């Protein structure tokens, strides 16, 4: 996964639309389209392997429309340009985070010395518990 290629691809292929934002803003709220909706078709995204793309599709399923388009909506500020930048950054970070594959765990064996210490500890604990029992009656 090449983060630079992904960022360039998102910047080049993302479709951006603007609409009126909810929330505070006074008279401004009814006149200015500051809410940003950024969308990108994931099959057109460059810089991801097939495995990474599958991971993105699985992990971001709630944000992806039926036609495979990832949506990000931002209305954090009252500035359209700033909301646009935030939307693109958020989209890039979502894709990169979802595409990161967990490293394959290499199983390791417990050493013989460690196994021996565990068994010794268990025996000592068992002896402690045996010492707490009532004495046997004859």
Helix (H, G, I), strand (E, B) or coil at 120: helix
pLDDT tens per residue, range 99-111: 888 888 898 999 9
Name all domains of the chain by residue range, CATH numbers in brackets. 3-99 (3.30.160.20)
Half-sphere exposure (CA, 13 Å, Cβ side) for 115?
A: 4
pLDDT tens per residue, range 58-99: 898 888 888 889 999 998 888 888 999 999 999 999 999 998
Token pair listed for 5? 């290629």
**pLDDT for 130:** 92
CB of 75 within 8 A of CB of 36? Answer: yes
**pLDDT for 25:** 63
pLDDT tens per residue, range 3-24: 889 888 888 888 998 888 776 6
pTM above 0.75, yes or no: no
């Amino acid at each position: 996964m090449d983060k630079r290629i992904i960022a360039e691809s998102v910047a080049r292929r993302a479709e951006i639309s603007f609409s009126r934002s909810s929330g505070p803003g006074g008279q401004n709220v009814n006149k200015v389209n500051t809410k940003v909706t950024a969308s990108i078709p994931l099959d057109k995204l460059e810089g991801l392997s097939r495995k990474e793309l599958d991971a993105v599709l699985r992990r971001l399923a709630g944000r992806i429309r039926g036609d495979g388009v990832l949506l990000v909506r931002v209305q954090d500020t009252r500035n359209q340009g700033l909301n646009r930048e935030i939307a693109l950054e958020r989209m890039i970070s979502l894709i990169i985070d979802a595409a990161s594959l967990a490293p394959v765990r290499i199983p390791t064996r417990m050493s013989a010395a460690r196994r021996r210490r565990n068994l010794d500890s268990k025996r000592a604990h068992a002896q402690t518990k045996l010492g707490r029992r009532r004495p046997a009656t004859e």
